[in-house]
Amino acid sequence: MEKKDKQIGKKTLTAFAFMLPFLLLYSMFIIWPVIQGIYVSLHKWGLMGKVRFVGLSNYTRFFEDKYFWAALQNTAFFVIITVPLLILAAMSLALLANRKTRMQKLFRVCYYIPNVLSVSVVSYISKFMVSPYEGFYSTLLHSMGILSPGREIMWLTEPNLIWAVVTSTTVWWTTGFSMMLFISALQDIPEQIYEAAEIDGAAKSHQLFRITLPLLKPTIYLVLLLQIIASFKVFGQIYMISAGGPGNMTRPLIQYIYESAFLKNDMGYAAAMSYALFVILVVLSFIQIKFQNRTEKTA
C-alpha cells in the first residue's frame, strides 16, 4: 500500500513539474496583471504612478459619465450589426468551401487570406477603397456614370456610411476564422445522413434546414460567443479608419478607455471601465451558455 502511495505521489510531482513552467508564465502574464489592474482601479493613478487611494469612486464615476455610455452604445450597436452578418457570411462561405470540387482548397485559402492580414493593412485598404476623388469606389462610380463629375460620396464623414464601412471591413477581415470552425463542424457530419435523405427524396434545401443547420447548432453557439466577445473589444480598425468620428459617433468603449488612460492620464478610471466591460462580457457569456443549455435539453 505504501509503495502504491509513493508511486502516486511520484506521478503527481512529475505532473506538477511539467505544469510548473506554464503556471509560472500564466501567473506572471495573466493572473498578476488582473490583480494589479484591480489595485490600479481603486486609486487615482497617472502615467507616473499612484497618486492616492479613492476606493470605489472610479467605479461609481462612469455611471454619470455620458461619454462612457455613448461609447458603450456605439460598441453595442457595432456588435448587433456585425455579429449576425459575420455568422451568416462565415456559414455561407463554409458551405461553399465544403463542396467537393477541384477548386475546394483554393476557395478555402482565398476565403481565409484576409484573416491573416494585420489590422493596419486592413484599415489602409478600407480607407483607400472609400476615399473620395481617388478611391476605388469613387473611381468606379464615376467611370460607370453613376456619380456625376464633381460629386463625391463622403463615406468617412457620414455616420451611417462610416458604420457601413467599419462593419463590412470587420466582416470581410474576420470571417475566415469562423468559416474554418464551420468547415470543421460540417466535416463531422456523416455522409450517410445525406445519402439517406437523398434516397427519401429530400431536396437540397430540406437537407440544409433539416440536417445541416440543426447539427451545426453547437458551432453556431460557439461562434456567436466568440464573436460577441471579440466585437465588444473592437478598437483597431475603427481607430485607424475613422478615429471614432465623425465627432465621437463611432468611438467604441475600448477607444474611450485608451484615451482616458493615455491621453487624459487617468489610468485608474480606465482600469475601472475595463473591469466594467469584463463584467458585461461575463454576464452576456453566462446568459448565452444558460440559453444554449436550456435549448439543448428541450431539443
Using one digit for the tens of pLDDT, what is the confidence trace for 257-279?
999 999 999 999 999 999 999 99
pLDDT band at 79 (very low <50, low <70, confident <90, very high): very high
In order, the DSSP letters of the chain are -HHHHHHHHHHHHHHHHHHHHHHHHHIIIIIHHHHHHHHHHTEEEETTEEEEE-TTHHHHHGGG-HHHHHHHHHHHHHHHHHHHHHHHHHHHHHHHHTS-STTHHHHHHHHHGGGGS-HHHHHHHHHHHH-TTTSHHHHHHHHTTSSPTT----TTTSHHHHHHHHHHHHHHHHHHHHHHHHHHHHHTS-HHHHHHHHHTT--HHHHIIIIIHHHTHHHHHHHHHHHHHHHHT--HHHHHHTTT-STTTT--HHHHHHIIIIIS--HHHHHHHHHHHHHHHHHHHHHHHHHHHHHHHH-
- 99 against 168, higher pLDDT: 168
pTM flag (> 0.75): yes
Interacting residues of 48 by C-beta distance below 8 A, sequence separation 6+: none
**Predicted confidence (pLDDT) at residue 49 exceeds the cutoff of 80:** no
pLDDT value at position 254? 94
Alpha carbons within 13 A on the beta-carbon side of 64: 4
**Predicted confidence (pLDDT) at residue 3 exceeds the cutoff of 70:** no
**Predicted confidence (pLDDT) at residue 1 exceeds the cutoff of 60:** no
Residue in 105, 239, 222, 96 with CA at minimum distance from that of residue 170: 239
- CA separation for the pair 192, 148 (Å, rounded): 57
Share of the chain above pLDDT 90, in %: 48
Q: Are 44 and 268 in contact (CB under 8 A)?
A: yes
pLDDT value at position 279? 93
For range 83-87, the mean pLDDT: 95
Give per-residue pLDDT as tens, 227-243.
Answer: 999 999 999 999 999 98
Question: What mean pLDDT, rounded, does the chain reach?
Answer: 89
Residue in 284, 280, 214 with CA at minimum distance from that of residue 253: 280
For range 5-28, the mean pLDDT: 84
**Predicted confidence (pLDDT) at residue 299 exceeds the cutoff of 80:** no
Residue in 280, 279, 282, 239 with CA at minimum distance from that of residue 263: 239
pLDDT value at position 259? 93
- CA separation for the pair 154, 146 (Å, rounded): 15
Give per-residue pLDDT as tens, 201-260.
Answer: 888 888 888 888 888 999 999 999 999 999 999 999 999 999 888 888 999 999 999 999
